[in-house]
Structure 1
Amino acid sequence: MALKMEKTSDFNFITKSLLAGGVAGMCSKTVVAPLDRIKILLQAQSNQYKHHGVVGGLTAVIKNESLQALYKGNGAQMVRIFPYAATQFTSFEIYKKYLNGIHIPVVQHGDKFIAGAGAGATAVTLTYPLDTIRARLAFQITGEHKYTGIVHAATTMFRTEGGIRALYRGFVPTMCGMIPYAGFSFYCFEYLKFVLMKYLPLTFCKKCDRNTGGLVLTVPGKLLCGGLAGAAAQSVSYPLDVTRRRMQLACMDPKTEKFGSGMIKTLTLIYRENGIVKGLYRGMSINYIRAIPMVATSFSTYELMKQLLHLDTGMAVS
């Protein structure tokens, strides 16, 4: 009887965590969807927008296409982000429970880094094809459409670019980038949350009877932790994000097909042709503008959803 109740409790925890994570992901990506599209256009050096900066690019998209064009590819993003964020946050909670108590020398809360890295790897493996499709749709310019939608893009790529490998093009640099990115994101958020609760409880925390610790972060506290976590994580993993985009979009233009042959070769080509600042870190300014509110919104929404869904007590681990 006790075992049955434990399994029911774990099932409820996982179901609620999936919902909380999915909602958090959708909110965060919707907030930064226009910046996401500009980032993709700058990273892959779109012929029409490659000479623009962030503000100029946003203005040019509205002028040349429309205000709605800033959200191009966001439909595919929503289809992707709900299962991605749901899987990532839920995996983190599960991995964190099993890793709880593992001490890593020098690094306090190091188990959170491992749990975050594992969660990111799990989520990206399951949802990567949707990210590739979304990038293709977002890269299209009005009047030069190659794909009509998510299904058409998927079937066209599968049929003409080598099957399932086409949908996973750029997966290796994505995975290499995801491990430090997700690891640092969750580690920094959890560590900063711990610091604020321990040293600044009167400023950034409030009492909550449902929470097992008695305290939860206020919304400003959540946003602060999430924003700083996002900035730190993006700084580490950004060059691999650029590499991933160049590989994903290589077949969109005959001039860029050379970027689709492998991670090391693509990294080398980007560095040789454009250097570090204008190549490997191209679009980094917009990435900071984008990443800070995105990660802040994501973690804040997830923490709020956890409170609303009574997830404070967590999952039993046998």
Structure 2
Amino acid sequence: MSGGVVPLKDEGSPSQVAIAGAVAGLVSRFVIAPLDVIKIRLQLQVHSLSDPLSVRGITGPVYKGTIGTLKKILRDEGITGLWKGNIPAEAMYLAYGSFQFSAYKYSCHLLDSLPPPYTLPSSAVSFISGAAAGACATTATYPLDLLRTRFAAQGRERVYTSIVHSIQNIAAHEGPGGFFRGLGAGVSQIVPYMGLFFTSYESLKPVMAHSVIPLPFGTSDAAAGVVASVLSKTAVYPLDTIRKRLQVQGPTRSKYVHGNIPEYRGVLSTLALIWAREGTRGLYRGLSVSLLKAAPASAVTMWTYEQVLAVMQATEDQPGDD
């Protein structure tokens, strides 16, 4: 790429954006898969070692902290336990990355083409486009997200023996709606998250590109991605916890590694129940590992996206053989 900083929304053709987004999603998922499993296990835990009354009669594991959860999963389930749900997650990230970047680019161009006096400032274009891209990608890939959560929630005793079995079981016992449990929380979370993320990223990228201070993660793309992700993730984290709790509802709820997951119905009622029974801490359970996951995930995603796009553009610009 040239010395100047080109906004993300102005880079690449639609096909290049889709390919770069898909590759970025795959690479990012592979890197952060173990942290994702740890986060989901913590989010589904409704009890804590600091509350002795809550652990009476509990037969499932009690996790405490990121390192403690990591050790317990390795001890009880082996190293493969850290990659549970990775197959549907890889498929989700592949599709999500492609949908996300394509929808973002399309939305940006659409909003930039608005005639005066309807022209929007750049920050508003980034926010609206990021929110729209996140909503579209989340809805399109949500069944895969739900499968990822359910497989990650399985302990040594399997609820589903394979991807095919899980699809058949959900379709037979929960119907089509079973694949979209918690979608309301997912969209409610992703709209502000992606809006804030892309707005922060577009704003931080040119600033960090000209920073005189050595940047973490090597490049302005990665550093901007990390900061934008941490800020956005913290703001909307309770909705992510609600989504995870809703995704494991249904006839198999008591069969996951946490056998005491309460029955929840709807985003607002789930929020109220978690607040009443577990307090603020319950809504933010697993936030530390989520931020630990979000930083490298966003850094790897944005860095990979920019690098793949640059390679494709460079290859396209090369003159053909005479």
Q: TM-score, normalised by structure 1?
A: 0.83
**Using a 3 Å threshold, how does the CA distance of structure 1 residues 289 and 253 change in structure 2: closer, same or farther?**
same
Q: Deviations over 1:162-202 (max 9, x none)?
A: x11110000001100000111111111111012234x43x7
Aligned equivalents of 2:39 and 2:110: distance in 1? 37
Aligned equivalents of 2:60 and 2:290: distance in 1? 20
In the other structure, the counterpart of 2:292 is: 289
Aligned equivalents of 1:179 and 1:312: distance in 2? 35
Determine if contact 2:208/2:223 at 8 Å carries over to the other structure: no
The structure 1 residue matched to 2:277, chosen from 273, 277, 285, is: 273
1:244-255 aligned at under 5 Å gives the runs 244-251=243-250, 252-254=252-254, 255=260
**Using a 3 Å threshold, how does the CA distance of structure 1 residues 31 and 298 change in structure 2: closer, same or farther?**
same
The structure 1 residue matched to 2:107, chosen from 78, 85, 95, is: 95
The structure 2 residue matched to 1:77, chosen from 89, 103, 107, is: 89
Aligned equivalents of 2:25 and 2:88: distance in 1? 13
**Using a 3 Å threshold, how does the CA distance of structure 1 residues 111 and 311 change in structure 2: closer, same or farther?**
farther
1:228-243 aligned at under 5 Å gives the runs 228-243=227-242
In the other structure, the counterpart of 2:162 is: 149
Determine if contact 1:42/1:50 at 8 Å carries over to the other structure: no
The structure 1 residue matched to 2:192, chosen from 177, 180, 184, is: 180
Q: Deviations over 1:240-265 (max 9, x none)?
A: 00000000012343443512x11111
Q: Does 1:256 align with 2:261?
A: yes
Structure 1: 4+ residue segments shifted above 6 A: 202-205
The structure 1 residue matched to 2:149, chosen from 114, 125, 135, is: 135
Determine if contact 2:182/2:247 at 8 Å carries over to the other structure: yes
Q: Does 1:120 align with 2:119?
A: no
Mark the runs of 5 or more structure 2 residues left unpaired by the alignment: 1-11, 47-58, 114-118, 255-259, 317-322
**Using a 3 Å threshold, how does the CA distance of structure 1 residues 114 and 16 change in structure 2: closer, same or farther?**
same
C-alpha deviation, 1:50, in angstroms: 3.4
Aligned equivalents of 1:253 and 1:139: distance in 2? 10
Determine if contact 2:99/2:133 at 8 Å carries over to the other structure: yes
C-alpha deviation, 1:301, in angstroms: 0.8
Q: TM-score, normalised by structure 2?
A: 0.82
In the other structure, the counterpart of 1:18 is: 18
Q: Does 1:306 align with 2:309?
A: yes
Determine if contact 1:49/1:57 at 8 Å carries over to the other structure: no
In the other structure, the counterpart of 1:209 is: none
Identity of aligned residues (%): 33
Q: Does 1:56 align with 2:68?
A: yes
Q: Deviations over 1:266-295 (max 9, x none)?
A: 111111110012x11111111111111111
Determine if contact 1:185/1:233 at 8 Å carries over to the other structure: yes
Aligned equivalents of 1:86 and 1:276: distance in 2? 35
Aligned equivalents of 2:165 and 2:187: distance in 1? 26
Q: Does 1:227 align with 2:226?
A: yes
Between Structure 1 and Structure 2, how many residues are aligned?
281
After superposition, the CA RMSD in angstroms is 2.2
**Using a 3 Å threshold, how does the CA distance of structure 1 residues 51 and 196 change in structure 2: closer, same or farther?**
closer
